[in-house]
Amino acid sequence: MSKSDITKDMPVWHQPDGAPLSCVEKIRVLNENFVELREMMQDALEDALLMGCDEEQFRAVMHEVVAELENPYGTPEK
């Protein structure tokens, strides 16, 4: 997957109230993090497949990792 493929599907980042983020610097940082994570996850998937790992299991484990992430700042009030 090329970098242009990754950046074309960039999400629109939202605030907890549903309004889109408007700060250009915050959006830039979020987009850079998103691209980095996506590339790293793609590399990890390819490594797993080359080493004979089951693709469905790998994807399930990645979903679990995301589900287990903790918000250290608490849930924002809506």
Give tens-digit pLDDT for 42-61: 999 999 999 999 999 999 99
- Contact between 13 and 20 under an 8 Å Cβ cutoff? The reply is yes
The answer to whether residue 8 scores a pLDDT higher than 80 is: no
- pTM, whole model, 2 decimals? 0.76
Of all residues in the chain, the percent with pLDDT exceeding 70 is: 86
What 3 state SS string does the chain have?
CCHHHHHHCCCCCECCCCCECCCHHHHHHHHHHHHHHHHHHHHHHHHHHHCCCCHHHHHHHHHHHHHHCCCCCCCCCC
Mean pLDDT, residues 17-41? 95
Q: How many angstroms separate the most distant Cα atoms in the chain?
A: 45
**Token pair 């979020």 is at which residue?**
30
